[in-house]
Chain A
């Protein structure tokens, strides 16, 4: 079985990249239901990874972050005001920062 390390401090790290209320999410899946991409579990899966601090998984699936259209429909309809769209944007910033620091990882 493949194990992944988690980073319990990730919510604090992500604050630097702009995510504010993402950790209000209780994973109801409304964002997946309204997302125009109609693509698997996007963006819920990424939000869950962020909540868990599963940074290795985020970086492994990072290309998916750029599928987001930044249309804001998930944020408008989120029952918890968790702003999933802004979280995805923050994860893009986090990933770009990682790619700049460690280009070959």
Chain B
């Protein structure tokens, strides 16, 4: 296990420098929107919180962390904060596989398409799409989180943004629950799947859902995905720990202990395999984790896009 203090300091330093936990510029990470017609005007802003786009970078970082966990070299990670951000950006540009970037960017394209097909009045402004800071909150750096959240909330409000459509459970929780508490600024927050309009199309598929902890327990949103699947005529195999009582995939541990992450992940994979059905995930961290474990999981949005 890494020293949490070193990891927190590194993440906090990156967040101060570049606005995201990796230390690469947001424009390097956020490029998914370049392949869709950009809508700059709309009632609610699509707010990705840079989570799906970050997964290829998280995967690469986790791979490095896993390699040196519990070795004498582990303590040198604290010096990562001294690396200039242009070097980090360059490193990420060169080292993160294009195929991984395309895979996770495609998920955001699917969300965009589902919202469009559901006649949702929305816009996307890449320069206002920020990382929420949720990792700092989860790691216990409440001051660092509050500072970042204040900047994000103030910038969004100054640009007239009042309504957000989110795509992942962690950003949703941050914007819906934590921001009003920490910054005093409230936004009307909906997830993309709360905007899905029935299309009348149906399919005879069979899947199982890996419910994210934050939708299930922190946000009370785990029933809706099952209803959407039911409306589509898809059979959803419920596993033992699902919905409000879902089990974690171990993702939150990957920044301090990839080894622990893997132990928890293996137990969850066993549960998901018991369904004997294709797995749908609804959180970028879960999806990245399940793919790493060899489960050919698909994001819920790409599945829904085919029928909406």
A positions within 8 Å CB-CB of B: 17-18, 36-38, 62-63, 65-67, 69-73, 75-77, 89, 92-93, 95-96, 99
Contact = CB atoms under 8 A, between A and B. Distances in A.
Contacts of A75: 217
Which label, helix, strand, loop or mixed, suits the secondary structure of the B interface?
Answer: helix
Contact of A69 (B140, B245, B253): B253
A36 B1 contact: no
Contacts of B8: 96
A66 B217 contact: no
Interface of B: 1, 3-5, 8, 138-142, 213-214, 217-218, 244-245, 247-248, 250-253, 256-257, 260, 264, 267-268
A73 B268 CA distance: 14
A20 to B, nearest CB: 13
Contacts of B250: 36, 69
B4 A66 contact: yes
Nearest to A95: B140
19 contacts: A18-B142, A36-B264, A65-B4, A66-B139, A66-B140, A66-B256, A67-B1, A67-B253, A67-B257, A71-B247, A72-B218, A73-B217, A73-B245, A75-B217, A92-B140, A93-B140, A95-B140, A96-B8, A99-B5
B271 to A, nearest CB: 10
Given A66-B256, A70-B252, A96-B8, A76 B3 contact: no
Contacts, number: 70
A96 B138 contact: no
Contacts of B253: 67, 69
Contacts of A36: 247-248, 250, 264, 267-268
A87 B43 CA distance: 39
A73 B140 contact: no
A92 B218 CA distance: 19
A73 B1 contact: no
The interface residues of chain A, by DSSP majority, are classed as helix
Contact of B141 (A38, A62, A71, A96): A96
Given A73-B217, A73-B245, A99-B5, A93 B142 contact: yes
Given A37-B264, A66-B4, A93-B140, 5 more contacts: A36-B250, A36-B264, A67-B253, A70-B252, A72-B213
Most chain-B CB neighbours within 10 Å: which of A18, A71, A72, A96?
Answer: A71
B170 to A, nearest CB: 10
B260 A37 contact: yes
Contacts of A89: 138, 140
A91 to B, nearest CB: 8
A76 B244 contact: yes
A99 B213 CA distance: 30
Contacts of A62: 4
A71 B140 CA distance: 14
Contacts of B140: 65-66, 89, 92-93, 95-96
Contacts of A76: 217, 244-245
A75 B244 CA distance: 12
Contacts of A65: 4, 140
Nearest to B138: A70
Nearest to A62: B4
Contacts of B256: 66-67
B248 A73 contact: yes
B180 to A, nearest CB: 16
A63 B252 contact: no
Contact of B252 (A17, A38, A71): A71
Q: Which of A36, A67, A73 has the most CB of B within 10 A?
A: A36
Nearest to B217: A72
B214 to A, nearest CB: 8
A76 B217 CA distance: 7
B140 to A, nearest CB: 3
